Structure 1
Amino acid sequence: MPKTSTEERAWIAEAIRRVDADANRSADTHMHVVPIPVPGIDLYLKDESVHPTGSLKHRLARSLFMYALCNGWIGEKSTVIEASSGSTAVSEAYFARLIDLPFVAVMPASTSTEKIALIEFYGGRCHLVDDPGTVYDEARRLATECGGHYMDQFTYAERATDWRGHNNIAESIFEQLSAEPHPCPSWIVVGAGTGGTSATIGRFVRYRRFDTRVAVADPENSAFYAGWESDRSDVTTDTPSRIEGIGRMRIEPSFVGGVIDDMVQVPDAASVAAMRWISAILGRTVGPSTGTNVWASLQLIGQMRDAGEEGSVVTLLCDGGERYSHTYYDDTWLAEHELDITPYADALAEFEKTGVLPTP
């Protein structure tokens, strides 16, 4: 391997400074209290949509760029390429522009037009494929073809973030809860796209010896739940997830099942109904993966209530709903995709009245 020149070292040092400065400029994300009619149990939403690129993936993209820079994988003439369902690509396009590198996102053709527009806004180029299962190979091919670097979030998400602390999302959650009635949450609920967030939080709570349990909310057509249940990493599905950003057709390398205490399967229609329900409560729209998180959280709250437990449940507001105005917020689109949210919306209305979420 050739030696790194003085000029290359200087470029890497400046690139790291710019990425690090982004973290310094960013205040921590907000924690919202969600009013629920269940005495003794509190529900919180950590609002990751307030990051500069509007989603939880801003944290991941920053970590991936820092990891790649410190490993010497990207340099002054690199083209950065990523396989993504949208939000990670938006955030990576932002960081690529920050350090003056070209960026290409390999994404399913079904990705929302709003996300594509955001990637292009940050100077990225979108390479769309019809088969979502081919995004990995296509990203590798493009990287080889142009001599660029395939960032590969699905492999490196669980290791690029310092899970012991350094203001990661887990440490932030516990600091923000320190003055709440139940400062050590009973559950933290997250979705899984790469598996990086659940790995970071799961490792952190074990490292700090907290009693908190970690649950992963998984949508339909995702391999994660079946793989976790059977303790296998070779599980695959034939159909891509309809909930953008979470659920995968294979068990991703960054998914660490051993740090997860439970998984909750969430019907896609329930995700959309919960997305609209929590949007009405907050007074602004959220994305569908937030709906998946909320529905799973309410399921766990029901289990706590039935067991006579008190405590708190924390989940994530992953991104804003403005990215999905032509999809999950469009009733015609829902009908075309055979998503009937009425039974789940009715169940949520009943929960608001009684604190009990009936089974649709």
Structure 2
Amino acid sequence: MISAWAVEAIARLDDEMEQAGSTPLRAFPLPAGWGVRLWLKDESAQPTDSLKHRLARALFRQAIAAGQVVEGATVVELFGQVGECPRWVVVGAGTGATSAAVGRHLRSHDLPGRLAVVDPENSAYFPGWASGAADYSTGMPSRIEGIGRPRMEPGFAPDLVDLVVPVPDAASVAAARQVRQVTGLAVGGATGANVWGALELITRMRARGIRGDVVTVIGDAGPRHLRTCHDDTWAEDRGLDWRPHAARLERLLDGGGLW
């Protein structure tokens, strides 16, 4: 039997969630006539400026309730804001918890949307997913904060993922800078990877004449990223030449040039 303390604790978490409200869904500008919209679910608007706030709240609630499932809140809110199920939902994978929650929601509600996971250099998720090796390991750390792992993590559910998109680290830097240019938000490389992967999928959709929405996530944003992927010296010290990727983005977004 659940205790009075647990009831009160869960109620407080629920109150905090209600007061926080929905995080914004920001439109990423694409050329007119593409027939595709790209939406950025801005989790940096959470009280702690991070997607991890929502996950931490859900994990605390689950632990207190001792078995009550609370995963998938982000997805339910997101779909309500878009108005219909997007063609693709694009997320990164650190522990794999977010992609697993999204995938479970899509499957359990029999939704037509598909799930793509972006993966940086050195990470085990793309080769592990592609090869079907649940114990795949690269032994190398990711250079993109928040996503990528040297081995397949237990929380990652490859059977719920429709596609894993490998993203060059320098491309993540270029896309993060592009997001800052259009939104004013100093996002990290993980968000850059999300947007780069989303644009890859949009390019494929256009080539096949497919219209619809693609949704990805702004995981966090803040001044600290100005000292990393938005800083030329930081990028150059790590051998990340973002300029060719930035030029590629500019050609694409200025008029739909070849990806």
TM range (shorter): over 0.9
Bigger relative contact order (CA 8 A; separation at least 6): 2
Quickly say closer, same or farther: Cα 1:198–1:205, change in 2 above 3 A: same
Corresponding residue to 2:226 among 311, 315, 325: 325
Distance 1:242 1:275 in 2: 14
* 1:238 and 2:139 matched: yes
Distance 2:148 2:223 in 1: 21
The Cα of 1:12 is off from its aligned counterpart by 3.9
Contact 1:195–1:255 (CA<8 Å) still a contact in 2? yes
Corresponding residue to 1:271 among 154, 167, 172: 172
* 1:65 and 2:60 matched: yes
Q: Which runs of 5+ in 1 are unaligned?
A: 73-158
Q: Which has the larger radius of gyration?
A: 1
Contact 1:236–1:251 (CA<8 Å) still a contact in 2? yes
| 1:294 match | 195
Contact 2:139–2:151 (CA<8 Å) still a contact in 1? no
For 1:20, give the aligned amino acid: D
For 1:59, give the aligned amino acid: R
The two structures have a TM-score, normalised by structure 1, of: 0.68
For 1:66, give the aligned amino acid: R
Distance 2:179 2:248 in 1: 13
Corresponding residue to 1:52 among 22, 47, 58: 47
Corresponding residue to 1:36 among 27, 30, 35: 30
For 2:105, give the aligned amino acid: F
Give 3-state SS (helix, strand or coil) of 1:313's partner: strand
Give 3-state SS (helix, strand or coil) of 1:46's partner: strand
Contact 2:176–2:188 (CA<8 Å) still a contact in 1? yes
| 1:162 match | 71
Bigger CA drift: 45-54 or 34-43?
34-43
Distance 1:284 1:45 in 2: 12
Show the 5 A alignment for 1:183-194: 183-194=84-95
Over the residues paired in the alignment, what is the CA RMSD in angstroms?
1.9
The Cα of 1:161 is off from its aligned counterpart by 3.5
The Cα of 1:357 is off from its aligned counterpart by 4.7
Give 3-state SS (helix, strand or coil) of 1:274's partner: helix
Distance 2:64 2:224 in 1: 30
Distance 1:338 1:65 in 2: 40
For 1:32, give the aligned amino acid: R
Contact 1:241–1:249 (CA<8 Å) still a contact in 2? yes
Give 3-state SS (helix, strand or coil) of 2:227's partner: coil
Contact 1:161–1:200 (CA<8 Å) still a contact in 2? no
Quickly say closer, same or farther: Cα 1:327–1:162, change in 2 above 3 A: closer
Distance 1:231 1:355 in 2: 35
Distance 1:293 1:16 in 2: 32
Deviations 1:109-134 (CA, angstroms, capped at 9, x unpaired): xxxxxxxxxxxxxxxxxxxxxxxxxx
* 1:303 and 2:204 matched: yes
The Cα of 1:229 is off from its aligned counterpart by 0.7
Contact 1:19–1:66 (CA<8 Å) still a contact in 2? yes
The Cα of 1:185 is off from its aligned counterpart by 1.1
Corresponding residue to 1:203 among 98, 104, 107: 104
Total equivalences in the alignment: 258
| 1:146 match | none
| 1:349 match | 250
Distance 1:201 1:357 in 2: 30
For 1:35, give the aligned amino acid: P
Distance 2:69 2:176 in 1: 30
For 2:20, give the aligned amino acid: S
Contact 2:186–2:225 (CA<8 Å) still a contact in 1? no
Deviations 1:205-256 (CA, angstroms, capped at 9, x unpaired): 1222221111001111111111111112111122211111110111111101
| 1:106 match | none
Distance 2:29 2:222 in 1: 20
Give 3-state SS (helix, strand or coil) of 1:63's partner: helix
